[in-house]
Amino acid sequence: MQAKKIWFDVAYIYVETTDNKIGKMPLAWFPRLLNASKEELDKFELWADNSWIHWEGIGEDLSVEGFFTFKKEKIGIQS
């Protein structure tokens, strides 16, 4: 999977792929992204044929495929 566009709003990061799929994840899942400035967020590079998003300045890497396959598990309390 390859990214062609990446953007942000106040709560989410979005990725559009070269085959026009759009995925999103909450910034809250990624504290480095959540706490980054807009300028820091916008300073990403696409690596490995656009399949990874890399932020040198904040030390974060995300897989494009992960936007479509990753499921954050809810932690429940069992009795």
- pTM attached to this predicted model: 0.84
46 vs 16: CA distance, rounded Å: 13
Would you write out the chain's pLDDT as a tens digit for each of its 79 residues? Answer: 999 999 999 999 999 999 999 999 999 999 999 999 999 999 999 999 999 999 999 999 999 998 888 776 655 555 4
What CATH number matches the domain at 3-69, 3.30.2020.40, 3.90.930.60, 3.40.50.880, 3.40.50.10490?
3.30.2020.40
Q: Which long-range contacts (CB under 8 A, 24 or more apart) does 69-76 make?
A: 70/25, 72/29
Domain boundaries, the chain: 3-69
Q: How far is Cα 61 from Cα 48, in angstroms, rounded to an integer? A: 12
For residue 31, what are the β-bridge partners? none
Alpha helices in the chain (DSSP H): 31-34, 38-41, 66-69
